[in-house]
């Protein structure tokens, strides 16, 4: 019997992977991975101490304006999931994912936790460093009222070039605490922003030790859980010393994301082939990749027209 391939979830993956393989302008930040010894902050200003906190939002006003998408922002909203929002509206429209996602997890106080910040450097080259220190993870099996495990990481915002960095410190995190399928929040790291009435996510995946980035686009009102499986960083918390860096390609602004959306896929379900229709004819060198829900690419096709037949034989 021929296998029938259902495309309701695959369609999202097609849009995602096609975008990720596109031209350079589809990535509004230049991403880089490096390693650096982690240094805890000395005498930071404490935002939250070991007060048993969980699921909180805290206003955060900076001493300098950090430029995000060309907009100078002083006032932010920090959440206890590991990130910061640019404004209330984005908080309401973003599936509760921050603008600067950080290394997002379902953090809570483990009895020895703190969230604080420090500003270093001279005017014009200051760096805001926000630190999540010894934070625990929420677990449905926890009966102590405190988080389990502990993790350390920092968000750095650079005044000079509007760069965003995440620095990973020592951590002891049982993978079961971040297992998405076990009803716990996965580790998602990257950025989230709006473009052309879509949410854009620039996220990082750890595949066999290689920290690579991908760009995803979707309607915030129509998101499948399967998509989030592709957003999980990996089965473990990021390694100590990891540095994830996002740098705007221009000092004063971030280029708008080039979004190319699928218009229609049919027939659905499909057996031998399906037709792919795009809203616009793709740029030269357009490419479509078909991926499994775990992110493994199983086929790649050159896309030159707005309407293309995709062969499914052998998949």
The pLDDT tens digits along the chain (315 residues) read 333 333 332 333 333 333 333 333 356 789 999 999 999 999 999 999 999 899 899 999 988 889 887 778 888 999 999 999 987 766 666 666 788 999 998 899 999 999 999 999 999 999 999 999 999 988 755 567 788 889 999 999 999 999 999 999 999 988 877 766 555 667 889 998 877 667 788 899 887 788 999 888 777 666 555 566 667 888 889 999 999 999 987 644 444 444 445 666 767 667 777 787 776 666 555 677 776 644 467 777 777 777 888 887 777
> Given phi > 0 = left and psi -120 to 50 = alpha, else beta, which region is 182?
alpha
Nearest alpha-carbon partner for 169 in 186, 184, 155, 185: 155
pLDDT for 267 equals 75
Task: Give me the long-range contacts of 227-231 (CB less than 8 A, separation at least 24).
Answer: 227/9, 227/12, 227/13, 227/16, 228/180, 228/186, 228/188, 229/180, 229/293, 229/294, 230/13, 230/16, 230/205, 230/291, 230/293, 230/294, 230/295, 231/186, 231/188, 231/201, 231/203
């Amino acid at each position: 019997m021929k296998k029938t391939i259902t495309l309701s979830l695959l369609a999202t993956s097609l849009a995602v992977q096609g975008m990720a393989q596109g031209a350079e302008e589809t990535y509004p930040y230049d991403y880089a991975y490096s390693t650096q010894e982690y240094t805890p902050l000395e005498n930071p200003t404490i935002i939250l101490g070991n007060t048993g906190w969980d699921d909180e939002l805290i206003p955060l006003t900076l001493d300098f304006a950090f430029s995000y998408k060309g907009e100078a922002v002083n006032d932010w909203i920090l959440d206890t999931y590991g990130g910061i929002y640019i404004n209330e509206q984005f908080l309401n429209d973003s599936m509760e994912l921050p603008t600067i996602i950080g290394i997002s997890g379902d953090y809570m106080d483990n009895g020895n936790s703190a969230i604080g910040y420090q500003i270093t450097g001279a005017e014009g080259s200051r760096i805001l460093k926000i630190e999540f220190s010894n934070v625990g993870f929420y677990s449905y099996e926890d009966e102590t009222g405190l988080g389990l495990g502990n993790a350390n990481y920092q968000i750095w915002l650079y005044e000079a070039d509007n760069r965003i960095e995440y620095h990973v410190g020592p951590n002891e995190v049982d993978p079961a605490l971040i297992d998405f399928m076990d009803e716990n929040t996965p580790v998602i790291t990257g950025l989230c922003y709006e473009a052309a009435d879509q949410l854009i996510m620039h996220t990082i995946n750890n595949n066999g030790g290689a920290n690579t980035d991908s760009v995803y686009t979707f309607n915030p009102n129509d998101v499948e859980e399967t998509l989030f499986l592709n957003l999980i960083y990996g089965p473990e918390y990021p390694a100590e010393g990891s540095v994830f860096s996002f740098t705007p390609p221009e000092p004063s602004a971030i280029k708008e994301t080039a979004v190319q959306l699928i218009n229609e896929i049919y027939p659905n379900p499909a057996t031998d082939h399906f037709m792919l229709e795009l809203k616009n004819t793709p740029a030269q060198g357009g490419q479509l990749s078909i991926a499994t829900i775990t992110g493994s690419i199983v086929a790649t096709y050159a896309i030159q027209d707005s309407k293309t037949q995709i062969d499914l034989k052998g998949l």
